[in-house]
Amino acid sequence: MKFRNIKGFFPIVYFFFIIVNVGCTKDFLNRNPESNMSTGNFYKSKEDFVLALNAAYSQLYTIYDPLSAMSFCGEQMSDNATIYNIAGNQSEQTAFKDYSLMANNSVVYRFWQEAYKAIFQTNIVISNIQAADLDESFKMQAESEMKFLRALFYFNTVRMFGGVPLVTTPVTELESYGYGRASEEDVYKQIVSDLVFAEENIQEDAPAVGRATKGAVDALLGKVYLTLGDKQNATTYLMRIYNTYSLLSNYKSLWDVSYKNSSESIFEIQYLGGASVPSSRYWPIFAPFENLTIVANGGGMNQVTETLWNEFEPNDVRKDASIFQGYTNRVGKFIEIKFPKKWVDSTAQVINEEEACSNNFIVLRYADVLLMLAESTGDAKYLNEVRARVSLPLYGSASYPSQKYGTLELAIEHERRVELALEFHRWFDLKRTGRAIAVLQANGKNVTNDKLLLPIPQVVVDQNSIITQNPGY
């Protein structure tokens, strides 16, 4: 092989130019991710929006996770639940129940992040959908559902942190620095406006099981108005669904995996259980820490307090349906410890040391609506519908324990505590009725008015100086 003359060299030069040409093709440097979708060409088709809607709904998994802010605030900061031994940095988690939260608590920060992640997934749909070339009814339905979710997320957030930055469109990093804390009032205004929009535009029946319905919007709107102290509006919206739902005859069935989305359920988070699909973690996380017999491991969260146990009236079947008194360990010894029973799924497959359960989590149910109606109307009949289901003496009857719950307000407070026990309502109920300080201090909690709001995470305050800290932190 001789390349002495330029002819022989020609193939090399030719090869060189081929390579140059390969390189010069315009797309050589434009690599689209192969294993991820990207936003560039998304939010166009109906299918895209269906995917985006589902993703927004999937945020409910974090917002109502057994280790979520709803769980910590709703139960542990109330007098219902506590934690004993848990894994990891215990002081950051026990600080909730002890009211010793500090602004740099990483769990509080996680809650903040989760809230805004969830809100973002609704915002991005809401801001893209109107421009999409899709049929109007689909667009209105999608926007309504997203506004319902956004209202729910803001409602939870404002109840925990007070006024928060009110973000209703996707914002860039630079824009975000312009967002200080909106007043509580403004946040509620937005919540109401979102819900009113949804109320007016959402279809009566959801396009799929688990999606928001008009009933869900009414129930939430009722709850929001009740929280705002607007009993009249609360009654208006709650009455719209009065008798459109019905209580299950057997209280215990509410969490039974074969009674999902029952007639009592108004808005319910959907799980399938098993491998690779969304599964619910309430049962293993609420089981005693490292018990190793009832569940593979046990998270030890939301262990039931004696006061909740004692709150139940004699013969209240809800007590046994709600709480375990203990378990038998590996050597056959019975360990006395009270913990939640509602979400037991004994058939769950164990994956990564945790039961991948199938139970749904009910966010809004009819019993809650009835009790809210009792509260907004001052009429005990709604309360008594709830009590009748579990065959307890009706309020106003002779056998009602009125020495303990002398007023209708106290009766409702008591009823909500036992009916909705461990379903993330208690702390918010106490705050709504203004009874938090009295009740919690009586339970030995070191709580002041300031501590009824979580601190704004230190990182958030550090990051943007226009964001102010809550008093007391």
Q: Which of residues 50-79 bind other proteins (CB under 8 A)?
A: 50-58, 60
- Position 206, amino acid: A
Angle between helices 366-377 and 408-419 (to 10 degrees): 170
Q: Of the candidates 209, 388, 438, 442, which one interacts with other proteins according to CB under 8 A?
A: 209
Cβ-count burial of 105 within 10 angstroms (0-12 exposed, 13-18 middle, 19+ buried)? Answer: buried
- What residue ranges in 120-227 does DSSP mark as E strands? none
Of the pair 281, 431, the CB lying nearest other proteins is at 281
Angle between helices 408-419 and 426-433 (to 10 degrees): 170
Q: Of the candidates 130, 462, 468, 472, which one interacts with other proteins according to CB under 8 A?
A: 462
Residue 325 near other proteins by CB under 8 A = no
Q: How far is the CB of 305 from other proteins (least distance, A)?
A: 14
Residue 444 near other proteins by CB under 8 A = no
Q: How far is the CB of 200 from other proteins (least distance, A)?
A: 24
Round to whole Å and give the CA distance between 79 and 93.
Answer: 16
Window of 66-74, 98-106, 228-236, 306-314 that interacts with other proteins by CB under 8 A: 98-106
Of the pair 48, 230, the CB lying nearest other proteins is at 48
Cβ-count burial of 433 within 10 angstroms (0-12 exposed, 13-18 middle, 19+ buried)? Answer: middle
Of the pair 296, 380, the CB lying nearest other proteins is at 296
Cα of first residue to Cα of last residue in the chain, in angstroms, is: 84
Residue 458 near other proteins by CB under 8 A = yes
Neighbours of 152 (CB within 10 A): 28
Q: DSSP class of residue 73?
A: I
Residues 146-165 that bind other proteins (CB under 8 A): 165
Q: Of the candidates 211, 223, 319, 341, which one interacts with other proteins according to CB under 8 A?
A: 211
Residue 258 near other proteins by CB under 8 A = no
Residue 19 near other proteins by CB under 8 A = yes
Neighbours of 441 (CB within 10 A): 12
Residue 7 near other proteins by CB under 8 A = no
How many binding residues for other proteins (CB under 8 A)? Answer: 95
Of the pair 253, 463, the CB lying nearest other proteins is at 463
Of the pair 177, 242, the CB lying nearest other proteins is at 177
Phi, psi (deg, nearest 5) at residue 288: -55, 145
Q: Which tokens go with 420?
A: 């909705």
Window of 136-144, 206-214, 239-247, 392-400 that interacts with other proteins by CB under 8 A: 206-214
Measured at the CA of 141, the angle between CA 140 and CA 145, to 5 degrees, comes to 115
Neighbours of 174 (CB within 10 A): 7
Window of 139-147, 191-199, 267-275, 432-440 that interacts with other proteins by CB under 8 A: 267-275
Buried b (16+ CB within 10 A) or exposed e, 392-412: bbbbeeeebeeeebeebeebb
Round to whole Å and give the CA distance between 291 and 283.
Answer: 13
Residue 314 near other proteins by CB under 8 A = no
Round to whole Å and give the CA distance between 226 and 162.
Answer: 17
Residues 119-148 that bind other proteins (CB under 8 A): 119-121, 123-124
Window of 105-113, 148-156, 232-240, 392-400 that interacts with other proteins by CB under 8 A: 105-113
Residues 337-366 that bind other proteins (CB under 8 A): 350-353
Q: How far is the CB of 448 from other proteins (least distance, A)?
A: 13
Q: Of the candidates 7, 310, 330, 444, which one interacts with other proteins according to CB under 8 A?
A: 330
